[in-house]
Structure 1
Amino acid sequence: MKAYITHLSRLSIVTLTMLLLMGLPAVAQRGSARTRINTSRLMEIKNVDVIYISPAMLQSVPKASLKIDGADAMSGIMDGITSIHIYTSSDRKAIQELRRTFAPITELRNADLEQLMYVKNEDGVVNLIGQLQGDNASELYMIVTGDDEYTVINFSGSFSRRQLEKAVTQDNSRRHKR
């Protein structure tokens, strides 16, 4: 009987270990699903301009001055912003570094990223990509690519899917009226 219990205990431990190990990739995948970008090294790259606007600075700026083209839908998004980071360059080598750094975002590598808007015209390309968790975005990335310039504007905050859809729909309808 004792040998049976020992064998059963070993079998249980082996089974439990196998189940845990099989579950690790799923847990690791879920945990790593949130896209992270290491922008700290951009501070050291020559010819990359980095601008940070803190929550305190945003609170001191009148909300009316943050509205884009006076659009009510965009003001809802602007109200949700807690901080802004801007990374820009017109230097070819620095642009390559910016592209490499933000490749996980622009290539939509993870399930938490969604392209919200894409506009291409003679001046360049503008992408708006949201980092979504359910129906809320915690990060918005506006990536502006021109012939000789590359800019990424990272809006951190809390944005509902409804606010985002309203802003994108309003922006597209305004664009078609012109």
Structure 2
Amino acid sequence: MKVYMTHLSRLSIITLSMLLLLGLPAVAQRGATRTRINTSRLMEIKNVDVVYISPAMLQSVPKASLKIDGADAMSGIMEGITSIRIYTSSDRKAIQEIRHTFAPIIELRHSDLEQLMYVKDGNGVVNLIGQLQGDNATELYMIVSGDDEYTVINFSGSFSRRELEKAVSQDNNRRRKR
């Protein structure tokens, strides 16, 4: 009986180990899934305007001049920006290409994406989507969709959830007062 239990215990440990080892890559992949967008083809599409502001260029601009509408809550976000990319067009075909390129972001296809803000008014729709890793966002996507223009602004950097919530709640309060 003792030999049987030892064999059973070894078999259980081996089986448990195998299950854990087989399960680890799936768990690691789920936690490590990051949405990647290939924007290089937008450079080749006619009527898509592309602007890139490098980290070096951002460092040369005083942070105070980057404030949006003088909002203090935005200062934490503005300080966390390391680079900015802007993709915009007013051409229908080019707009379709931009939408197609950013579809994984717009449609929130992956668990690392979270819609932080959505505003619809008479002029169009503004979405703010964050690519989060825990309590930090590494990418913010502001998508502005109007009747005759479409713009995606990608802010790269490091943004805490607290900074994002503060900025979004201040913006919502400002909109209610209008």
Q: TM-score, normalised by structure 2?
A: 0.86
What CA distance in whole angstroms lies between the structure 2 residues aligned with 1:100 and 1:118? Answer: 20
What CA distance in whole angstroms lies between the structure 1 residues aligned with 2:20 and 2:167? Answer: 46
**Aligned residue for 2:81?**
81
Matched, 1:124 2:132: no
Matched, 1:66 2:76: no
- Cα deviation for residue 21 of structure 1 reads 4.8
- Cα deviation for residue 22 of structure 1 reads 5.2
- Cα deviation for residue 29 of structure 1 reads 3.5
Q: Secondary structure at the match of 2:73?
A: helix
Comparing 133-142 with 18-27, greater Cα deviation is found at: 18-27
Matched, 1:28 2:33: no
What CA distance in whole angstroms lies between the structure 2 residues aligned with 1:174 and 1:133? Answer: 28
- Cα deviation for residue 155 of structure 1 reads 0.3
Matched, 1:162 2:162: yes
- Cα deviation for residue 19 of structure 1 reads 6.1
Which AA in structure 2 matches 1:30? G
- Cα deviation for residue 62 of structure 1 reads 1.3
What CA distance in whole angstroms lies between the structure 2 residues aligned with 1:21 and 1:90? Answer: 49
What CA distance in whole angstroms lies between the structure 1 residues aligned with 2:77 and 2:26? Answer: 36
Show structure 2 runs of 5+ residues with no match: 1-10
| Misfit runs of 4+, over 2 Å | 14-31
Which AA in structure 2 matches 1:81? I
Show structure 1 runs of 5+ residues with no match: 1-10
Which AA in structure 1 matches 2:124? G
- Cα deviation for residue 127 of structure 1 reads 0.1
What CA distance in whole angstroms lies between the structure 2 residues aligned with 1:104 and 1:95? Answer: 15
- Cα deviation for residue 17 of structure 1 reads 6.9
Q: Note the alpha carbon deviations across 1:20-75, whole angstroms, 9 max, x for none.
A: 555444443433x2111001111111111100000111111111110011111011
Q: 1:58 to 1:20 in 2, by over 3 A?
A: same
Identity %: 81
**Aligned residue for 2:3?**
none
Matched, 1:96 2:96: yes
- Cα deviation for residue 81 of structure 1 reads 0.4
What CA distance in whole angstroms lies between the structure 2 residues aligned with 1:42 and 1:149? Answer: 16
Q: 1:63 to 1:24 in 2, by over 3 A?
A: closer
Which AA in structure 2 matches 1:175? R
Q: Say what the alpha-carbon RMSD is for the aligned residues.
A: 1.9
Q: 1:146 to 1:18 in 2, by over 3 A?
A: same
Q: TM-score, normalised by structure 1?
A: 0.86
What CA distance in whole angstroms lies between the structure 2 residues aligned with 1:118 and 1:88? Answer: 19
